[in-house]
Amino acid sequence: MTDKQWNDLLEVIDGKLFSPMPAGFIIDSPWLPGWCGETILDYFTSDLIWFESNRKAVQAFPDCLFLPGFWSEYGMCSEPSAFGSVPVFTENSFPHAKPCLHSIEEADHLRTPDPSTDGLAPFMLNRLRKHEQKLAAIGHRIRFSVSRGPLNIATHLLGTSEFLLAMKMDPERTHRLLRIITEYLAGWHRLQASAFPRIDGMLILDDIIGFIGEDDFKEFGMPYFRELFSRDVRVRFLHNDAHCEASLPHLADLGINLFNMAFDTNLNDLKEATRNRIVMLGNIPPRDVLAAGSPEDVKKAVRSLAGSLKDRSRIVLSCGGGMPPGVSTANISAFLEAVHELK
């Protein structure tokens, strides 16, 4: 992000109204390689392709906030690899992490990994270090430390069904597993921040909080998310594009001030439920409109969304979730044109 984009985001969080309204998207490996005509495997294994893909996006759409900005990642394999999960990569499919725990009982023997040496984290950090000067040369800085969330990682280590079952059958060991993951994540965010002093934001992505009820979220989610988001940073950003009903009443209490949600959630309802204390990043359908629709479909969706808003403060217009595969330059341009046409 540029200095201006960062300062504008801070003002949006403070409640300032902008005309035109701000627009932005989470972008990473599901979208960038295909948009640039590269394979996913080349995107992960070539630092040059990674940098040029991100550079192309920020320079093609300079008025758009791309979050977190030059994200160094290996998809869902990024954090589970530190715990011993086998990362699976193919040429042009999304990578996935094989479960490495055969049962929740194995949490008894799990130890907290070191993010400076274990798994893929050192590669992600080194990629950013190698390109820091190139980023500065085009006016961009690393602003966010980034990770998946503790529930998300737990499902990759154990399996989704197995983890959800363990919450009910063995809550003590489930808490042990989440405690170890949270300790690792806290260290990983500290390491990123120490490597790049301009970091003043954090992004955590966790869809599993949308798979559980409110009581389970309060027991197995809130303590760990609150701990992670207690860092002294100005932007505390949560992504959950599954259901948010269970966590919604508690989002502000977690300390977050920026939220990316599922596309089928009404922004007016979200703003009311959170007492307009959180910036909402959303919320047109990502796959069926932004990717599969025509440019005119995209424009109609943006106009409809903006027209439905009772209060345009603390909103960054986007899609519900991250930028999906297959979104064209024409559709992004249509989105931004519709935003600039809003009165």
For the stretch 192-224, pLDDT in tens is: 999 999 999 999 999 999 999 999 999 999 999
pLDDT tens for each residue of 306-332: 999 999 999 999 999 999 999 999 999
Rounded Cα distance, 76 and 94, in Å: 8
Q: What whole-number distance in Å separates Cα of residue 238 and Cα of residue 242?
A: 12
| Mean pLDDT, residues 88-99 | 96
pTM (whole model) above 0.75:
yes
CB 290 within 8 A of CB 324: yes
Q: Do the Cβ atoms of 168 and 175 come closer than 8 Å? A: no
Rounded Cα distance between 12 and 21, Å, is: 10
Confidence (pLDDT) at 213 = 95
Residue 134 banded pLDDT, cuts 50, 70, 90: very high
Greatest extent of the chain over all pairs of C-alpha atoms, in Å: 59
Q: What is the rounded distance in angstroms from the CA atom of residue 71 to the CA atom of residue 142?
A: 9
State residue 252's pLDDT score: 87
Query: pLDDT digits over 54-68, tens only?
Result: 999 999 999 999 999
Mean pLDDT of 6-22: 97
- Whether omega before 283 lies within 30 degrees of 0, making that bond cis, reads yes
**Under 8 Å CB-to-CB from 69, ≥6 apart: which residues?**
1, 54, 58, 140, 141, 142, 143, 144
Query: What does the pLDDT read at residue 57?
Result: 98
**Token pair recorded at residue 317:** 């217009």
Average pLDDT over residues 96-106: 97
- For residue 248, how many C-alpha atoms fall within 13 Å in the half-sphere facing its CB? 21
**Confidence band for 105, pLDDT divided at 50, 70 and 90:** very high
Angle at 214 between CA 252 and CA 107, to 5 degrees: 100
pLDDT at residue number 343: 75
Residues 28-36, mean pLDDT to the nearest whole number: 97
Q: pLDDT exceeding 90 applies to what percent of the chain?
A: 98
3-state secondary structure string, the chain? CCHHHHHHHHHHHCCCCCCCCCEEEECCCCCHHHHCCCCHHHHHHCHHHHHHHHHHHHHHCCCCEEECCCCCCECECCCHHHHCCCEECCCCCCCEECCCCCCHHHHHHCCCCCCCCCCCHHHHHHHHHHHHHHHHHCCCCCCEEEEECHHHHHHHHHCHHHHHHHHHHCHHHHHHHHHHHHHHHHHHHHHHHHHCCCCCEEEEECCHHHCCCHHHHHHHHHHHHHHHCCCCCCEEEEECCCCCCCCHHHCHHHCCCEEECCCCCCHHHHHHHCCCCCEEEEEECHHHHHHCCCHHHHHHHHHHHHHHCCCCCCEEEEECCCCCCCCCHHHHHHHHHHHHHCC
Smallest CA-to-CA distance from 316 within 10, 66, 12, 14 is with: 12
pLDDT tens-digit series, residues 242-284: 989 899 999 989 999 999 999 999 999 999 999 999 999 999 9
All domains of the chain, ordered by start, with CATH? 1-67+282-343 (no CATH), 74-234 (3.20.20.210)
Q: What are the pLDDT digits (tens) for 21-30?
A: 999 999 999 9
